Amino acid sequence: MENGTKKLNNVSSLAVEQPLPKSKLWKIIMVASIAAGVQFGWALQLSLLTPYVQLLGIPHKFASFIWLCGPISGMIVQPVVGYYSDNCTSRFGRRRPFIAAGAALVTIAVFLIGFAADLGHSSGDPLGKGSKPRAIAVFVVGFWVLDVANNMLQGPCRALLADLSGGKAGRMRTANAFFSFFMAVGNVLGYAAGSYSRLYKIFPFSKTPACDIYCANLKSCFFIAVFLLLSLTTLALTVVRENELPEKDEQEIDEKAAAGGKSKVPFFGEIFGALKDLPRPMWILLLVTCLNWIAWFPFFLYDTDWMAKEVYGGKVGDGRLYDLGVHAGALGLLLNSVVLGFMSLSVEFLGKKIGGVKRLWGILNFVLAVCMALTVLVTKMAEKSRQYDAHGTLMAPTSGVKIGALTLFAVLGIPLAVTFSVPFALASIFSSNAGSGQGLSLGVLNLAIVVPQMLVSIAGGPWDDLFGGGNLPGFIVGAVAAAASGILALTMLPSPPADAKPATTMGGFH
C-alpha cells in the first residue's frame, strides 16, 4: 500500500503540472453537463413524489417502501452496468451506449409517472379522495423504470469522465469539479420548478379531471426535466467521441471475457473479488459512508412532507396548507442546492485549512447531526405559534418559524457537499491498487450508499408510525447516525495519502 501511495503521489504531482488540453476540457464539460439533467429529475423526486404517492392513496407509513426501488436498482444496476461498460467493445464506445439507453428509459418512466392518475382513471379508478390502485400500479412501474434509468446514466457518466481524464489527478479534479457544479445546477432548477405552483399553466393539457393542480404541476416539471436531459445527453454524445481503447485495455477485456466464459455470471465473480481484496481503510470508509447515509436518507425522503405537516400543520389532500408547505420545502431545497454549489467548489480549500478532508467530513457530520436534531425544535416552535383566522381556519406559520426551517435547509447544504465529494475521493485513493475498472469500483462504493437507503425505506415508515405517524422519529435516528459517523471519521478513518491535494469527486443518489 505504501508503494502504491508513493506512486499515486508522484502521479498527482505530475498531473498538477500538466495543463488540461482545451479539447479534453470541452469534452469533460459536455459529459459533466448530463449531471444537470439527471439531478433535475432526482430533485423532483425528492421534493414532490412523497406527497404525490400519498395523494394517490398510499399511507405515510407505506410511502417509504416505494423508495426501495432506488436503493435496489442502485445496488444491482450500477455495479452491473459499470462492469459491462468497463468491458464493452461496441463501435460506439464503452460508455455511450449505456448513457443513451438510460436517457431513453427516463423518457418512458416520466410518461408513466406523470400520467399515472390519468391512466388509472381511464382504467377504472374513482375520482376524488381515496386509494387509486391502478394509478398506484402505473406509478410504481414508472418509478422503478426511472430509478433504473438514472442509475444506468450515472455510473457510465462518471466512468466516462474518468476515461477522458486519462487517469491524471489534475484532470480528474477538474472533471469532478464540473460534475459537482452541474449537479448543483440541476438541483437548483429542479427545486425551483417544484416550488412554483403555477407551472402547469405552461402546459394547459396537463390538468385533467383525474389530475389536479398539484398533479399537473408535477407532470409539467417532468416534461421540462426530460427535455433538459435529452437535450444535454444528445449534445454530449454528439460532441464527445470516445477514443479507441488502448491496447492494454483491449487485452484486459479479452482476458476477462475468456475468464467469464467459464462462469455463467462473470460479474458476480468480479464484484465479490473486488470486495474480498478491499484494504482495511476502504472497509472503514464503507462503514462511515453507510452511517452517513442512514443519517441523510430520512431527510431526503420526508423533507417536504415535514415542512407541510409538522411546520405548516397541513394534512395530505386536505386544504391548501399542505400544498403551501410542500412548495416551501421545495424552496428550502433550492436554498440547500445553492449552498451545495458554492460549498462543492470549496471542499478542497477547506480541507487544507482544517487539516485534511477526513477531519472536515467528521466535523461536518456533527453539523448534520445538530441540524437533524433541530428539526424537533422548529416543530415545537411551529406547534406553539399556531394561529387561526376569524373563521377558525389554521393559518400559515409565523415568519420566525419559516425562517428557522428554511435556515436548516440551507445549512444542510454544507455537509451535503462533503457527502457528495469526500467519500468518492477517499475511495479512489484507498482502492487505487485494487485493479478494478472505474465502473466496477464506483459500484462497490455505491453499495455503502444503497444498503442504508434500503434499511431506511423498509423501517422508516413503520418506525415513524410507531411514534404517531410524523417525521421526527426518523430525523432523530438520522441525528444519532450522523454523530456516530462523525466519531468514526475522526477516530478510525485513516488520513489519505496526498491529503494536501484532495480530489473533489462526484457523488449522487443510488
The pLDDT tens digits for 13-43 are 333 334 444 446 778 888 888 988 888 877 7
Say which CATH number the domain at 139 has.
1.20.1250.20
pLDDT of amino acid 61: 61
> Same domain, yes or no, for 318 and 441?
yes
Residue 318 β-bridge partners: 315
Residue 388 β-bridge partners: 394
Entry field: residues in the chain: 510
pLDDT for residue 458 is more than 80: no
Q: Which residue has the higher pLDDT, 222 or 191?
A: 222
> Same domain, yes or no, for 316 and 198?
no
Residue 407, Cβ neighbours under 10 Å: how many? 15
Q: Which residue has the higher pLDDT, 154 or 416?
A: 416
Domain boundary among 188, 214, 242: 242
Give the amino acid at 142: G
pLDDT of amino acid 364: 95
**Is residue 262 a part of any domain in this protein?**
no
Give the amino acid at 240: V
Give the amino acid at 465: D
Domain boundary among 242, 273, 304: 242
Rg, C-alpha atoms of the chain: 23
Give the amino acid at 301: L
> Same domain, yes or no, for 196 and 291?
no
| Average pLDDT value for residue range 417-435 | 70
Residue 211 β-bridge partners: 208
**Is residue 250 a part of any domain in this protein?**
no
pLDDT band at 5 (very low <50, low <70, confident <90, very high): very low
Number of domains in the chain: 2
* Terminal Cα distance for the chain, rounded: 29
**Separation of alpha carbons 111 and 222, rounded Å:** 8
> Same domain, yes or no, for 318 and 229?
no
* 157-209 pLDDT, tens digit each: 877 877 777 656 556 656 766 777 788 888 888 877 776 777 778 888 888 88
- Which candidate, 235, 268, 68, 39, places its Cα nearest to that of 154? 39
| Residue that has been written with the C-alpha cell 449505456 in this structure | 98
> Same domain, yes or no, for 94 and 37?
yes
- Which candidate, 477, 158, 35, places its Cα nearest to that of 299? 477
Share of the chain above pLDDT 90, in %: 16
Domain boundary among 242, 273, 296: 242
> Same domain, yes or no, for 206 and 341?
no
**Is residue 116 a part of any domain in this protein?**
yes
**Separation of alpha carbons 295 and 372, rounded Å:** 8
**Is residue 167 a part of any domain in this protein?**
yes
| Average pLDDT value for residue range 238-253 | 57
**Separation of alpha carbons 453 and 455, rounded Å:** 5
> Same domain, yes or no, for 312 and 431?
yes
**Is residue 2 a part of any domain in this protein?**
no
C-alpha cell at 159: 466512468
pLDDT for residue 109 is more than 50: yes
Share of the chain above pLDDT 70, in %: 73
**Is residue 506 a part of any domain in this protein?**
no
pLDDT of amino acid 489: 93
> Same domain, yes or no, for 216 and 348?
no
Query: CB burial class (10 A; 0-12, 13-18, 19+) of residue 23?
Result: exposed
pLDDT for residue 265 is more than 70: no
pLDDT for residue 487 is more than 90: yes
Residue 315 β-bridge partners: 318
pLDDT of amino acid 467: 64
* 247-264 pLDDT, tens digit each: 444 454 445 444 444 444
- Between 22-31, 377-386, 432-441, the lowest mean confidence (pLDDT) is in 432-441
Q: Which residue has the higher pLDDT, 59 or 250?
A: 59
pLDDT of amino acid 133: 82
> Same domain, yes or no, for 352 and 464?
yes
pLDDT for residue 453 is more than 80: no
pLDDT for residue 11 is more than 70: no
**Is residue 259 a part of any domain in this protein?**
no
pTM (2 decimals)?
0.71
pLDDT for residue 216 is more than 70: yes
Query: CB burial class (10 A; 0-12, 13-18, 19+) of residue 65?
Result: middle
pLDDT of amino acid 41: 79
Distances (CA, A) of 466 to 59, 60, 377, 459: 14, 12, 20, 10
| Residue that has been written with the C-alpha cell 423501517 in this structure | 459
**Separation of alpha carbons 264 and 92, rounded Å:** 26
The mean pLDDT of the chain is 76
**Is residue 201 a part of any domain in this protein?**
yes
Residue 315, Cβ neighbours under 10 Å: how many? 13
- Which candidate, 72, 8, 38, 289, places its Cα nearest to that of 156? 38
pLDDT band at 287 (very low <50, low <70, confident <90, very high): very high
> Same domain, yes or no, for 232 and 350?
no
- Between 317-321, 372-376, 478-482, the lowest mean confidence (pLDDT) is in 317-321
> Same domain, yes or no, for 225 and 346?
no
> Same domain, yes or no, for 210 and 297?
no
**Separation of alpha carbons 255 and 269, rounded Å:** 14
Residue 79 · residue 443 · CB < 8 Å: yes
Residue-number span of the structural domain to which 157 is assigned: 21-242
C-alpha cell at 434: 485494487
Among 64-68, 77-81, 176-180, the range with the most confident prediction by mean pLDDT is 77-81
| Average pLDDT value for residue range 382-407 | 86
**Separation of alpha carbons 411 and 315, rounded Å:** 27
φ, ψ (nearest 5 deg) of residue 256: -65, -35
pLDDT of amino acid 275: 64
